Structure 1
Amino acid sequence: MHIDVSRQIGAVTRRVETRTREDMPVFVIRAERTFDTPLDDTWDAITNPERLSRWFLPVSGDFRPGGSFRIEGNASGEILRCDPPEELAVTWVFNEQLSWVDLFLTAEGDEGTRLVLEHLAPVDPEFQARYGPGAGGVGWEQAFMGLDLYLTSGEPGDPEAYAAWSASPEGLAMVEQSSEAWGHAAIAAGTDPEEAHAAARRTTAFYTGAEAG
């Protein structure tokens, strides 16, 4: 299994900011990427449970506004808003922690789609100082990569092959470069550079199972 790490890293635009959601301050990570497939097909790939399982994880639930969903071995939540093929908003509950995920899709010409993902979480200064935006950003970039590989090839992902690739030097480089890129996004948002780079190293260590420094 070969993946062009430089292409995957370079395809994502990253941004970090703070906002207010439901009268509370929230930490926002924003990842943006263009996929080489039409808008309707991209929308179907990220909302059709049968197709989601081909590149992400098995998902079950009641797929309508007000319905709920559960991602096998991962998160669950409620579907807050669904406006095909342009907008999807859900709550995201992971380890009993509530956050929100908003997706925005726009057509890029006749054959492309720009996907913007925003993950909003209640501000947790200690956690965010330790790991920075890469704590969530690296995981979402891995999902973007899975979607890109699926849309490009039309073939479902092979979990065993992906696990082996993730442990390879190429896979470890993907995590490290993604963590570093989110560190730069944090710096652009005002985080002290030394603190941002240290948080990026801890994020890399977390995702790769290495000891954090």
Structure 2
Amino acid sequence: MNPTARLLRGNSGDTGSRLVLTRTFRAPIDDVWASLTEPERTARWFGPWKGQAGTGNTIQVQMVHEDQTPWMDMHIDACEPPRRLACSSTDDHGVWRLEALLTESDGTTTLEFVQHLQGEENLGEIGPGWEYYLDMLVASRDGSPSPGFDDYFPAMKAYFEGLSAGPER
């Protein structure tokens, strides 16, 4: 497994950095959007959710691949089907501001998954997790075997630590 993430700094109205991971699917944008927003489909790669969807609402999301499969509150900051979903959550590790941006061209949909960072510490732990979850999304869509987390962490830790230590990549 090779990491794909880029670390971008500034230039988008943000004062912080953005961790950006990209995946491409030979599928219509509406189908990929459904993989990101329908609870029975998110359950296949991240975890199910419950509650009333919509901008400004808070839903509960279960993280089925984490220890003790915790539920967490996730606020829907923006929902612009089928192109943009922005969510945020706060836990013991801080504030998580996440965004999924979809574009389609010639039957191929590109997902840019963005984590807006408050700081660049802990990228060595955060980055491999997102690579894993997005590869779980790929596997859930194409029927390939689910990856094992051990292929991502600690194997990718140095790559992500290097991103925060170096210039924009």
TM-score (norm. length: structure 1): 0.64
Partner of residue 195, structure 1: none
- TM-aligned CA deviation for residue 50 of structure 1: 1.6
Please state which structure has a larger fraction of its residues in helix.
1
Specify the SS of the correspondent of 2:53.
Answer: coil
Aligned to 1:153: 143
Residue 105 of structure 1: aligned partner? 102
Shift of 1:62: 1.6
Match of 1:54, SS state, is coil
Residues 20, 175 of structure 1: alpha-carbon distance in 2 compared, 3 angstrom cutoff: same
Q: Write the letter of the residue equivalent to 1:15.
A: R
User: What TM-score comes out, normalization by structure 2 length?
Assistant: 0.79
Cα deviations by residue, 1:177-208 (Å, 9 ceiling, x for unpaired):
432332443354369xxxxxxxxxxxxxxxxx
Question: Is contact 1:16–1:28 with CA below 8 Å preserved after alignment?
Answer: yes
Check if 1:15 corresponds to 2:12.
no
Name the % identity: 21
Aligned length: 162
Instruction: Identify if the C-alpha distance between structure 1 residues 178 and 37 changes in structure 2 by more than 3 Å, giving closer, same or farther.
Output: farther
Counterpart of 2:159?
Answer: 181
8 Å CA contact 1:37, 1:151 repeated in 2: no
Larger radius of gyration: 1
Question: Whose RCO is larger (CA < 8 A, sep 6+)?
Answer: 2
Is this contact kept in 2: 1:56–1:143, CA < 8 A? yes
Identify the residue that residue 206 of structure 1 maps to in structure 2: none
Structure 2 Cα separation of the partners of residues 20 and 61 of structure 1: 34
Going from structure 1 to structure 2, the CA distance change for 1:106 and 1:20 (only over 3 Å counts) comes to closer
CA RMSD of aligned residues (A): 2.9
> What does 1:35-46 correspond to in 2, within 5 Å?
35-46=25-36
Relative distance call for 1:58 and 1:31 in structure 2 (3 A) is same
Cα 1:105–1:137, aligned 2, differ >3 Å: closer, same or farther?
same
- Which segments of 5 or more consecutive residues in structure 1 lack a partner in the other structure? 1-5, 192-213
Distance, in Å, in 1 between the alignment partners of 2:129 and 2:153 is: 9
